[in-house]
Chain A
Amino acid sequence: MTCLRPFTCDDMYKFNNVNLDPLTETYGLSFYMKYLAHWPEYFQVAESPSGDIMGYIMGKAEGIGENWHGHVTALTVSPDFRRLGLAATLMNYLEDVSEKKRCYFVDLFVRVSNKVAINMYKNLGYIVYRTVLEYYSGDPDEDAYDMRKACSRDVNQKSIVPLSHPVRPEDVD
């Protein structure tokens, strides 16, 4: 039961029920504003019939040549609205936009410890393209999986041939 609509500035005043969850980061205003200004179509919010924010996705499109791709920057669903297929709806949306923009693939980073999310992405057709060492700073630093799914433009699925070696964060563009 979803109403997908573009994320607006005012939603930042209402997203606390989603963002207070410990796995969702609240960023500085400029971060959200940059995405809203640059990729407004990639920033969508799912609203419940009661008007509560159930979750949102933010992303962007970037890269040159065959690296032109959609990227999932943040995807989050409130604890009260989990197991309703909402994450899949939001991901589908982002993939649709990426298709329309003629992207070659969609990618995202996820903590290697976040088994639930990794499984969900696998179910949505993503593969682990490579491991990025110590991508998440913390104590201790944590590795990330760079997961990818090819778009229809990548006919030969060149973008999702996994790398055999892990890379350093500075080698990720």
Chain B
Amino acid sequence: MSRAASNMHVHQDNSVVERRLRPIYDWLDIGNNKKALQECDKVLKKTPNLHCAKALKALTLNRMGKEDESRTILDALIKENPTDDATLQAITLCYREMQELEKICKLYETAVKLDPTNEELHTHLFMSYVRVSDFKSQQQSAMTLYKIKPKNPYYCWAIMSIILQATRGEGSSDPKKRMLLLSLAERMFTKMITDNKIDAEQEVQLYIMILELLEKYEEVLAVMDGPLHTKLQSISIPQMKLKYLKSLNRWNEVNLVCKDILIDSIDRWDIWKDYINSVFELMGTNGVILNDECDDNSDAKGDSELETIDDTPEKAHEFICRIVENGTENGYLLRGPYLARFELCSRLSKKSLCSADLLGETIELFIEYFRKFGHKPCCVFDLRVYLNLLNDAKKAELATRLIKDVGISSTTVPQSEHQMQRHICALQLARLCGSHRNLPADHLKALVTALSLHYQHGYQAYSKNLLPTDLGASDPYALIAAHILYDLAQTQNNSDFIILALMLLDSLLKNSPSNFHAKLLAIRLYHVVGGGICAHEMYNSLDIKHLQLDSLGYVHCARLPTTGLFTLCTNLFDTTLKFFASNYKDSSDHLTFSYKFGSFMKMNEFLDFRERLNNSLHYTAVAIDKIFLSLVECMSLESLYCLSIPPKDHNIDWELLRDNHDLNVYMSWDPERINSPPEDWEETKQLFKQDVLFLKLRNFAVQTVSIIVDISKSTDGTRQKYVDNLRSTVTDWKNLFEQTVAENLAPISEALIPLPLPSRLHGALRVPYLAVFGSMYDLLTTLCGEDTEDASKSTNKVTESLDELTKCLEQNTLKKPNNLLDKRKSMEIAVNCVEVISVASVICIVCNELVKPPHGRKAKKKSSGDSKNRESVIVVADKLKREMNTFCDILQQWTESVTIEDLSQRLEALHLSTSQNIVDNILHSYTIANKEMQLILKTKVKMLSSISR
């Protein structure tokens, strides 16, 4: 009765309320939270009990970062059990921001109890379960919804929820349960068919999905042949059938369906592969009988009554030849059948069968393909896959013959753009064949000179009128030259070649300013020589954003922490973390879209993607680096207390971490590239393992600082718990550290461009993180106890570890290398040393807090223990200050110690104008990094100066 009355009341007031609230929404929409807050207060003054206004105020406060105030309002509001949609939506937004998605479920659970027949509220309740992946509750709420309003989508939501229980919920670890659930889903769907209720395509897709999970492929095929297939508008049924025919090993039908498709679309590579595969599957069986059997099977044969099954390589070859002969009606010469020969050849060789009788010498296939398609850049991509068919001698032969075939000698230049493209293609294939390996350095230098000249000529002749958004046709010459220069830098251990490569890329980018291959390569090369600022400028010009922050994070962001450029780090870390945090929040919305639009086929994909994003190795690395950076820059106890360590919205699940890097974005024609993309290389796996170890060790450092903050904030009663926690965490750290050292892991090779630089693990192991932190923590725990004798012992240990740290920095900067490759590595060590001593200083101020005479307590006579403890802290603080001043001296001396050999002679050979700019810019980057480090150290000295007698 009273509920009805209150509903009436709301209804009457609705338009008035809406008018009042409108401005709040408007301000929120444009992001003016301050104005929105004023408006909220205004409305609440007039109508202090208006739920929606309260909810909007909470939302506004949340967006202003005033989470505590927001929470107070929300908690009070929830007790009043609001049920109107606008209020609930606003509260939902708040909880979403706070990532307290369970509370949204509670919110709507309460709401539907009060208004049990409200379809909209039930829908929201269902979606709230989707957000937290509570599949069981999803199922129940979808069924409730279906009982209120018997609409097909609700029924399908329930079925989908059951499927997810089977595949990702309890069924994922219990095959029996899985079967039970899937059968239930099937029965529910069959009922829908019997009741003649099937209406939309998505429903049929859902059915196919269930059958597929049950491995009932015959039934899937029956659906596609039966009356339901008319609903399937957006897929090509013959191609869909292929998938299930393959699963059923019905190779004769696969063969025929493929042939049917290929006759119409001769460039369908996936179908060619299926076709060839079916031929080899059929080869083992008796083809004649299969052909007979199939005569009755008219629907598998489709339109072309005349096609027969190809069950031998000979017949396949005949079919390919027929397609080649017929297939020139299109304006483009299509590569499909030509490449199909390679696939046939490859399958024969895998079966150790001779291919020469059928296809001729394999090397001739390459030559023929090159003659037909060598003027297209895709030719290299196509042939790369099959270069494995040739042994090393044949590869060398191919390389020579291709270059010869192009007709360009050491004294001529391409006469047409067509010829130039063929030349480029031949050069890239030659490099893939290994022809740049094991050449004497002089030979390679001459090659670089020639390529540089070809680049200049090609630019003058064919690229003059390009739009700024186009890539220059001759750009690949310069890119190959840069790759060869990189090889030279590696084999000769000389960074001058890197500088030359950078100059070449610089001149390329002046002509084609949007060549992203050149930019990516330049970033890579700048990082090899430690020119972080230059790399950063190049990176900015690529306009990397959104998901690229993850997939391309390794290119620049992951290297920045080794450069000592703290300011750049802060900005890029923040951008990256913001992307991850906000997208994790959004990712639950995508799941709800999927239900809304019935795209059940995408559901698993969306769930996987959400996990992939959230378990990104790069995300974890940046999150930890960000905290470390905050600690390094931390200036006082107060700011330490304000830091959120560990990151509150990022729980690391080490087992699930994934490498999301797109290494394939780097062009490379290294022979290693033939077998597999860089993602699958052994080095990539090693790197991942080492990076994870590095992060685990680094996370211990962060965690322990977090614990000592707890110690410092705690009162005597709870302190012991935290002290014990600190001890056990340090022990875990020590165990992992010793294990890691014992493994004696080698850094991955730097020789290949697509591989990121070696893991930071190695640089970290060379710096005494654990020794310094561990000794500081020993001191700290001693200070918490009563035994003052230990304090001086601990002080000695701290002193020793700091001496070790300074020695580490000294040794690394002693050498004054002209080689920037070494300088970069020294810089990484130097940054680590600065990091250690900075955080040690922060630990020191926590120690100081622990020995401070307590306020408020009546001035009890100081015990001798207390003053001894204070004395220990002062000794340590003094030591830290002394060492940091020494650090500054060492770094200052190190700054101006690089001289670069005069490169003008080599530049002339490449026809590049002498430009000192690149060297200057790299050295400038070092200088800035050095200054930033010294600044950090000086502010830390100042911070510690408050600790004195």
> For the complex, is A140 an interface residue (Cβ under 8 Å from B)?
no
Check B732 for interface membership: any CB of A closer than 8 A.
Answer: no
A67 close to B (CB within 8 Å):
no
For B677, the chain A residues whose CB sits under 8 A away are 51
Task: Assess whether B548 is in contact with A16, with CB atoms less than 8 Å apart.
Answer: yes
Q: Verify B270–A37 contact, CB threshold 8 A.
A: no
Tell yes or no: B606 within 8 A of A by CB: yes
Contact partners of B269 in chain A: CB under 8 A = 1-3, 47-49
* Cα of A13 to Cα of B64 in the assembled complex, Å: 33
Bound Cα distance from A160 to B587, whole angstroms: 39
Complex interface bits, A7-50 against B, C-beta within 8 A gives 1, otherwise 0:
01110111011011111001111100110111011100001111
Given contacts A9-B605, A26-B548, A85-B332, contact A40 B599 (CB under 8 A): yes
**Cα–Cα distance between A26 and B382 once the two chains are bound (Å):** 27
The CA-CA distance from A83 to B421 in the complex, in Å, is: 13
In the complex, per-residue mask of A67-82: 1 if CB is within 8 Å of any chain B CB, else 0: 0000000000001110
Check: A84 CB closer than 8 A to any chain B CB: yes
Q: Give A97 to B916 CA distance when docked, in angstroms.
A: 57
Question: In the complex the two chains form, what is the Cα distance from A50 to B387 in whole Å?
Answer: 12
Compute how far the CA of A4 lies from the CA of B261 in the bound complex, rounded to whole angstroms. Answer: 13
User: Which residue of A has the minimal Cβ distance to B513?
Assistant: A22
Tell me how far the C-beta of A146 lies from the nearest C-beta in chain B, rounded to whole angstroms.
23
Measured in the bound complex, the distance between the Cα atoms of B602 and A34 in whole Å is 11
Contact yes or no, A84 B546, CB < 8 A:
no
A30 in contact with B586 (CB, 8 Å): yes
- State whether A40 and B602 are in contact (beta carbons under 8 Å apart), knowing that A20-B516, A22-B469, A97-B234 are contacts in the complex: yes
Given contacts A30-B586, A48-B381, A79-B471, contact A3 B270 (CB under 8 A): yes
- Interface residue? A168 (CB, 8 A): no
Query: By the criterion CB–CB under 8 Å, are B589 and A1 in contact?
Result: no
What are the residues of chain A within 8 A of B601 when measuring CB–CB?
Answer: 40
Are A1 and B336 neighbours in the complex by a CB distance under 8 Å? Answer: yes
* Smallest beta-carbon distance B230→chain A, Å: 11
A52 in the interface, Cβ–Cβ < 8 Å?
A: yes
A100 on interface, CB distance cutoff 8 Å:
yes
B407 within 8 A of A: no
Q: A29-B546, A37-B602 are in contact. Are A52 and B665 (CB under 8 A)?
A: no
How far is A9 from B215 in the complex, measured between Cα atoms in Å? 25
The answer to whether B378 touches A8 (Cβ under 8 A) is no
Q: A1-B267, A10-B612, A85-B332 are in contact. Are A28 and B546 (CB under 8 A)?
A: yes
Q: A153 contacts the other chain (Cβ, under 8 Å)?
A: no
In the complex, whether A158 has a CB less than 8 A from a CB of chain B is no
Of B105-113, B306-314, B590-598, B828-836, the one touching chain A: B590-598
Q: Which of A12, A47, A49, A101 has the most CB of B within 10 A?
A: A49
Tell me the minimal C-beta distance from B155 to chain A in angstroms. Answer: 19
Is there a chain B Cβ closer than 8 Å to A122's Cβ?
A: no
Inside 8 A of A23's CB, which chain B residues have their CB? 469
* Complexed CA–CA distance, A89 and B332 (Å): 12
The reply to whether B605 and A37 contact each other, CB–CB distance below 8 Å, is: no
Residues of B within 8 A of A51 (CB): 677
A48 contacts B378, C-beta separation under 8 Å: yes
Nearest chain A CB to B316 CB, angstrom units = 17
Contact (Cβ within 8 A) A101 B234: yes
Is there contact, CB below 8 Å, between B332 and A38? no
Contact between chains at B384 and A37 (CB < 8 Å) = no
Tally chain B residues at the interface, Cβ within 8 Å. 57
Tell me whether A50 and B381 are in contact (CB under 8 A).
Answer: yes
B 317-357 binary contact with A (CB < 8 Å = 1; else 0): 00000000000001110111001000000000000000000
A52 to B677, CA, bound (A): 10
Q: Which residues of B have CB within 8 Å of A4?
A: 268, 270
* Partner pick for B606 among A9, A22, A27, A54, CB 8 A cutoff: A9
Nearest chain A residue, comparing its CB with the CB of B332 = A85
Alpha-carbon distance between A80 and B384 when the two chains are bound, in angstroms: 14
**A20–B267 alpha-carbon span in the complex (Å):** 26
Chain B residues numbered 293-314 whose CB sits less than 8 Å from any CB in chain A: none
- Shortest Cβ distance from residue B369 to the other chain A in the assembled complex, whole angstroms: 11
Are B335 and A1 closer than 8 Å at their CB atoms?
yes
Chain B neighbourhood of A84, CB < 8 A: 332, 376, 378
Given contacts A17-B665, A22-B469, contact A12 B602 (CB under 8 A): no
Chain A residues positioned under 8 Å from B590 (CB to CB)? 30, 33-34, 36-37
- Whether the Cβ atoms of A41 and B234 lie closer than 8 Å is yes
Check B551–A13 contact: CB distance below 8 A: yes
B599 touches A38 (CB 8 A): yes
User: Taking CB as reference atom, which chain A residue is nearest B375?
Assistant: A83
Q: Please tell me if the beta carbons of B376 and A37 are within 8 angstroms of each other in the complex.
A: no
Contact B382 A48 (CB under 8 A): yes
Q: How far is the CA of A50 from the CA of B590 in the complex (A)?
A: 31
Q: Given the known A-B contacts A8-B605, A40-B599, are A13 and B270 also in contact in the complex, defined by CB atoms under 8 Å? A: no
Q: Give the distance to chain A from B898, nearest Cβ to Cβ, in Å.
A: 33
Chain A residues with CB below 8 A from B516, complex form: 20-22
- Taking CB atoms, residues of chain A closer than 8 Å to B331 are 85
Min Cβ gap A69→B in Å is 15
* A-chain residues with CB within 8 Å of residue B339 when the two chains form the complex: 1, 49
Cross-chain contact of A52 among B267, B381, B520, B542 (Cβ < 8 A): B381
Residues on A with C-beta less than 8 A from B686 are none
The complex places the Cα of A34 from the Cα of B593 at a distance, in Å, of 7
Known: A49-B339, A101-B234. A2 touches B597 (CB 8 A): no
**Beta-carbon contact of A38 and B234 below 8 Å:** no
**B462 an interface residue at 8 Å Cβ cutoff?**
no
Say yes or no: A5 contacts B270, CB within 8 Å: yes
Tell me the complex Cα distance, A48–B234, Å.
23
Q: Tell whether, in the assembled complex, residue B602 and residue A49 are in contact, meaning their CB atoms are under 8 Å apart.
A: no
Closest B residue to A23 by CB, please name it: B469
List B contacts of A21 (CB < 8 A): 469, 514, 516
User: Is B810 among interface residues, defined by CB-CB distance under 8 A?
Assistant: no
A13 touching B597, Cβ below 8 Å: no
Q: Nearest CB to that of B233 among chain A residues?
A: A100
Task: Give the CA-CA distance A33 to B660 in the complex, in Å.
Answer: 18
A79 cross-chain contacts in B, Cβ below 8 A:
377, 471
Question: Which single member of A13, A14, A37, A52 contacts B599 (CB below 8 Å)?
Answer: A37
Distance A40 CA – B202 CA, assembled complex (angstroms): 11
Q: How far is the CB of B483 from chain A (nearest CB, A)?
A: 16
A81 and B378 form a contact (CB under 8 A): yes
What is the CA–CA distance of A23 and B385 in the complex, to the nearest angstrom? 29
CB-CB under 8 A from B594, the residues of chain A are: 37
Q: Which interface residue of B471, B590, B660 has the most chain A CB atoms within 10 A?
A: B590
C-alpha gap A27/B586 in the complex (Å): 14
Output the residue of A8, A16, A23 with the most chain B CB within 10 A. Answer: A16
CB neighbours of B609 from chain A (8 A): 9-10
B664 at the interface (CB under 8 A from A): yes
CA distance A139 to B618 in the complex (A): 35
Complex: A89 Cα to B339 Cα, angstroms: 19
Distance of A2 Cα from B597 Cα, bound (Å): 29
Q: Which residues of A contact B268 (CB under 8 A)?
A: 2-4
Which residue on chain B has the smallest CB distance to residue A16?
A: B665
Decide if A30 touches B234 in the complex (CB within 8 Å): no
Query: Do B233 and A49 touch (CB < 8 A)?
Result: no
Residues on A with beta carbons closer than 8 Å to the beta carbon of B270: 3-5
CB distance from B838 to the nearest CB of A (A): 35
Closest 7 CB pairs of A and B: A41-B234, A9-B609, A37-B593, A20-B516, A3-B270, A33-B590, A100-B233
Task: Apart from A26-B546, A29-B583, list 6 A-B contacts with CB within 8 A.
Answer: A10-B605, A14-B662, A16-B551, A41-B233, A49-B339, A85-B330
Q: List 10 A-B contacts (CB under 8 A).
A: A2-B268, A9-B606, A16-B552, A29-B547, A36-B590, A37-B596, A37-B602, A38-B593, A38-B597, A97-B233
